[in-house]
Structure 1
Amino acid sequence: MDHLRSLVLLVLIAGGGALCNKCPASQTTNLQLTVSSRRNISGHWLISVDAYGENLRSKQQSVDEQKDLVVDLEHSATYCHGIDTQHLQVNATVHGMAPPADYKPMAGLGYYKYYLTPLTWEQAKYKCEEDGAHLIILDSEKESIVIKEFYARKPNISGAWNSVDVFVGVHDRYKEGQFEDVFGTQVPTAGNSLWRPGQPNGKSAENCVVGKTTGEYADGGCDWKLPFICEFM
């Protein structure tokens, strides 16, 4: 089942004085705004916005199932005895993709899957993308618990480059020393507590990032074959 989140915002603006509940002179207008979004293979978000008025409801219904976010705005205005009252109600509903069945939820973080078959960094990246996910990116120290739990449960893995590294979604393959995640967002090294002390160590042959037993980042070889963790947003 898809995730569903709803938000209702009610705004009441009066031009002054008491409200006139008995005034019949009111006018109501409706506007439907639909925002759709999807992430392309490079990790960039593509967003489109469509608006529908009262006489375009049939067109709106034909695209409902294709959208991730629907925002309904209901507006009414009442003018009575010199008082102008504006009423705006916003209902926002977000439909998100459900995670794959074998992804484990971690409270307050997201959904993750541990892959024990060793792959190169590039192969691991594409494997996660096949799931509709991505190699794990640490957004906070709290999220390092996912990597720590991996090591707590990990059995001996045959064919892995070593037993102390797991691939994550960060690299500096394009420019030495300039680290970024799989979505192209820069990942700072100076003053970033997510890196293990002494890391990255600047070795030019280590252009992909791994997670250590401490849950911290370190640089490693992209051609190493390691287990990895996929994250579903």
Structure 2
Amino acid sequence: MMNELLALTLFILHVIFADASQEVQCSPHDSAQRFTFLITSIRNETGHRVVQAELQNQADITFDPGDPITLGVTHSRSLCGGMEMVQLKTVISVSERNVKSMKGDYELFPGQGYYKLHTNGMTWDEARITCYNEGAQLMVINSEAEANVVKEFFSRHLNFRDVQSSLYVFIGFHDKFAEGHFVLINGEPLDSSGYTNWAPGQPNGSHRQNFGAVDNQGLLHDITDGEKYGFICEKE
């Protein structure tokens, strides 16, 4: 995602204070008293926005340049018909952060988590160790929405290197301990993941196909021992 200016909004707020002792002047005048109205927004780790608004009675405010949304206010006052009017003129600008850089080179997929596609081929065990050394784990697909993360990576037409095939990537399940008994990398049954969408004819029951993979349509496969493929790691 690229940093970009998403919105520029101008609005005027009228705040009326009763003051019967003032004469009718209906003209703006300066005042030493200043108000600042600040809205700050950040994106949390699940991709949702949190917005905070604050009205401050002070002349100046320092904005955090890391905040994606900032809002500054200037104001003027006037007397009209025995009423004091305060006019607040506010400009809000919104700038998105590059979420890919929020956890190193792991990319945030909002509502799902952080993921990284490795395009250099490795065996399943090598891939598992690589993810672990990055403070992550081989991806476990828990839903159709998370399978869409895989499809998104494949849709970018990335160049895989030193792989048996660029149609599959390793993810975190296997049956290397008991043929046909597929488990996740944490030892739980594959069924507990909530996602068991196998490709047609898979798993095919071969005693040499012990390691889990997913294809470019988000469908599961078991892959032959010793073959090298790309793989996806995920972080919380």
TM-score where L is the length of structure 2 = 0.54
Question: Is structure 2 residue 180 aligned with structure 1 residue 183?
Answer: no
Instruction: Give the C-alpha shift of residue 141 in structure 1.
Output: 1.3
Q: For each residue in 1:148-195, what CA deviation from the matched residue of structure 2 results, as whole angstroms up to 9, or x when unmatched?
A: 112111333231101211000000000000000111110139x96422
Question: Is structure 2 residue 127 aligned with structure 1 residue 124?
Answer: yes
Q: What residue in structure 2 maps to residue 100 of structure 1? A: 103
Alpha-carbon RMSD: 2.4
Q: Percent identity?
A: 36
TM-score where L is the length of structure 1 = 0.55
Which of the numbers 223, 227, 231 marks the counterpart of 2:230?
Answer: 227
Q: What residue in structure 2 maps to residue 204 of structure 1? A: 207
Question: Is structure 2 residue 139 aligned with structure 1 residue 136?
Answer: yes
Question: Is structure 2 residue 158 aligned with structure 1 residue 160?
Answer: no
In 2 relative to 1, CA 167–118 (structure 1 residues): closer, same or farther, beyond 3 Å? Answer: same
Q: What residue in structure 1 maps to residue 97 of structure 2? A: none
> Per the alignment, in what secondary structure is the counterpart of residue 188 of structure 1?
helix
In 2 relative to 1, CA 156–101 (structure 1 residues): closer, same or farther, beyond 3 Å? Answer: closer
In 2 relative to 1, CA 145–4 (structure 1 residues): closer, same or farther, beyond 3 Å? Answer: closer
Q: What residue in structure 2 maps to residue 45 of structure 1? A: none
1:134 and 1:192 mapped to 2: Cα distance?
17
Instruction: Extract unaligned runs of 5+ from structure 2.
Output: 1-43, 47-100
Q: Which AA in structure 2 matches 1:195?
A: W
> Per the alignment, in what secondary structure is the counterpart of residue 150 of structure 2?
helix
Q: Which AA in structure 1 matches 2:157?
A: K
1:114 and 1:227 mapped to 2: Cα distance?
7
1:4 and 1:208 mapped to 2: Cα distance?
30
> Per the alignment, in what secondary structure is the counterpart of residue 233 of structure 2?
strand
User: Bigger radius of gyration, 1 or 2?
Assistant: 2
In 2 relative to 1, CA 178–4 (structure 1 residues): closer, same or farther, beyond 3 Å? Answer: closer
Instruction: Extract unaligned runs of 5+ from structure 1.
Output: 6-97
In 2 relative to 1, CA 146–192 (structure 1 residues): closer, same or farther, beyond 3 Å? Answer: closer
2:217 and 2:225 mapped to 1: Cα distance?
20
1:186 and 1:99 mapped to 2: Cα distance?
32
Q: Which AA in structure 2 matches 1:107?
A: P
Question: Is structure 2 residue 116 aligned with structure 1 residue 113?
Answer: yes
Q: Which AA in structure 1 matches 2:154?
A: Y
1:128 and 1:171 mapped to 2: Cα distance?
16
Instruction: Give the C-alpha shift of residue 196 in structure 1.
Output: 1.8
Q: For each residue in 1:87-144, what CA deviation from the matched residue of structure 2 results, as whole angstroms up to 9, or x when unmatched?
A: xxxxxxxxxxx97311100011010011111110000000000111000000111100
How many residue pairs match? The answer is 138
Asked whether the equivalents of residues 196 and 220 of structure 2 are also in contact (C-alpha less than 8 Å), the reply is no
